[in-house]
Amino acid sequence: MSQSAPLHPDQKPDQSPAYITTPIYYVNDRPHIGHAYTTTLCDVWARAMRFAGRDVFFLTGTDEHGVKVEKSAQARGIEPQALADENAAEFQKVMKMFNLTNDDFIRTTEPRHERQVQSLVKRLLETGDVYLGEFEGWYDEGQEEYVTETKAKETDFKSPISGKPLVRANERNYYFKLSAYQDRLETLFADHPGFVKPDARRNEVLGRLRGGLQDVPITRTNFTWGIPFPGDEEHVIYVWIDALLNYATALNLADADDDRHRYWPATFHVIGKEILWFHAVIWPAVLMALELPMPGCVYAHSFWISEGKKMSKSLGNFVDLPTIERYLDVYGLDAWRWYMVNNGPLGATDADFQAAGFHETYTSDLVNTVGNCASRTTAMLGKYFDGVVPADAGCEFPGWDLKASADEAVTAWRAALEDFALDNACAAGIGLLRTVDAFINATEPFKVAKDPERQDELASTLARCIEAVRIASVMLWPVIPQRMESLWLAIGCDIDPASGDLTTQACWGDSLVGAQTEKVALFPRIDAASTPMADVAS
């Protein structure tokens, strides 16, 4: 059997550092499916890239400042930091629940972050990109916060909470000179069409960019729970600049030298579509001002809705942590990750979380395809070869070339990951298994086995099936790591994703020949009745 490499035969695999981030999550919220989703996407990509040999840094964390946290804490009679600690712990619990492999968890109240934010803001002050100016707007005295012109108009210039009229108020604020970056931003978007993905989101940004940019205030004085502005401590650095800079401070970028600098800039900033503007426009402008290299891509996914409706507390269809835990109990973590990646809002439209859909996806993809294909292949090896993988006898099966199919799948898988098309990466993996199924149906090894004259044919068929299954498992591992690892155990192959040798592992070969295998049932069939139903009051 030839051992030619399926991908970039002449090139070494890309071993450059890679940096992927989630937004930092606001501690005033409780973790829910949205947080789990974004973080899981990043985890899948990070796992795949590490396996592929890249030096990956995967960051997530919490955003802990701001008026809302201050008020929530006040309402409970505790210090803001205590509230932040409590909820940050809740978010960290999520990382454990989903077996996420983030390399760091940054909190904006950490000294390392605060110190660097001050230092970076100071730098902006020195370059003239931050200046002291006057801010005027509609102020809600009851809520002690400014509301936007649009919001004010919507509520007829009255406070939505107290009903009292909004007042015109002003204060001195530090501004970021966003307007100065209009041209450079346009150039950025023109030169890097992939800077914002998906395309629909990019168009939105471009459209709004055409409308022109105004400078943006980056400090507040109406609350104190935040990072003091360097040199003018009455001002607190406003949350979004505080928050955005986490991507830099986690890598100690404000410090002269650090090991983590090699990860900069981000390969992907994965975010939800609601914070696109900050990431696609303000963030790059700030980086330009700081003279830091631009990220490769801001990937803005859409939202989950639940059972056809927007998630809301009053509807009771919020997919929160306890709900998710029920799914994990019944279906297992891998099934949850598979559903997130394959049925989620990776594209421009929102995705619907449906209990029935979850069960369907689990059954058709994982039980009937991945599980069943592994099962029938290992069963035949057990029956006809006592579980020992035979050598490929080199028989020809016109119209079938599993090696070529595997190579194609791996190439497609790689391309999908470059694009953050995680669902397509899954499709490449599972597609190869469908091909194996079709191959078995066409060559009928279970009939061939009855004829002692056709042992070569039988060996050729099953050797190729199990090798294709092995390669598919490599592609599927980032999404369903637990079950793929049990598969590896069952087919006696020694694969360690941490070794970064995916290129070797994804290569068609005969490494399994002689391996002792046993029949596996990777994904148990589950009674639809035990699917956790959303508590939708209908």
Bridge-based pairing state of the strands 232-237 and 219-220: antiparallel
The nearest distance, CB 379 to RNA, in angstroms, is: 3
Least separation in angstroms between CB 497 and RNA: 21
Give me the DSSP letters along 451-472.
-GGGHHHHHHHHHHHHHHHHHH
Chain centre to alpha carbon of residue 144:
36
Closest to RNA by CB, 348 or 513? 348
Q: Smallest distance from the beta carbon of 72 to RNA, in angstroms?
A: 11
Q: E strands within 390-507? A: none
Rg over alpha carbons for the chain, rounded to the nearest Å, is 27
Q: Whole-number minimum distance, CB 504 to RNA, in Å?
A: 27
State the nearest-atom distance from the C-beta of 270 to RNA, in Å.
12
CA dihedral for 290, 292, 295, 296, sign (positive or negative): positive
Closer to RNA by Cβ: residue 260 or 434:
434
In this structure, what is the dihedral angle of CA atoms 462, 465, 470, 473, given to the nearest 10 degrees?
-140
Sign of torsion over alpha carbons 27, 94, 347, 22:
positive
User: Is 195 in contact with 280 (CB distance < 8 Å)?
Assistant: yes
The residue whose two tokens read 């916060």 is 145
Cβ of residue 304: shortest distance to RNA, in angstroms? 11
CB of 53 to RNA, least distance (A): 30
In angstroms, give the least distance from the CB of 476 to RNA.
13
CB-based contact 69:79 (threshold 8 Å): no
236: Cβ contacts below 8 Å, ≥ 6 apart? 65, 219, 220, 221, 223, 224, 225, 226, 227, 228, 229
Q: Residue 78 CB, nearest distance to RNA (Å)? A: 18
- d(CA 181, CA 160) in angstroms, rounded, equals 35
Q: Which is nearer to RNA, 7 or 275 (CB)?
A: 275
Q: How far apart are CA 86 and CA 71, in angstroms?
A: 15
Q: Which residue's CB is nearer to RNA, number 323 or number 503?
A: 323
Strand order across the 167-176 sheet? 145-147, 130-140, 167-176, 216-217
In whole angstroms, how close is the CB of 180 to RNA at the nearest point? 12
Q: For residues 218 and 297, which CB has a smaller minimum distance to RNA in the complex? A: 218
Give me 80's structure tokens: 């803001």
Q: Which lies closer to RNA via its Cβ, residue 135 or residue 292?
A: 135
Contact criterion met (CB below 8 Å) for 83 and 27 = yes
Q: Residue 324 or 351: which CB sits closer to RNA? A: 351
Distances (CA, A) of 385 to 389, 402, 462, 515: 7, 21, 10, 11
> Quick one: how many helices (H) and strands (E) in the chain?
21, 15
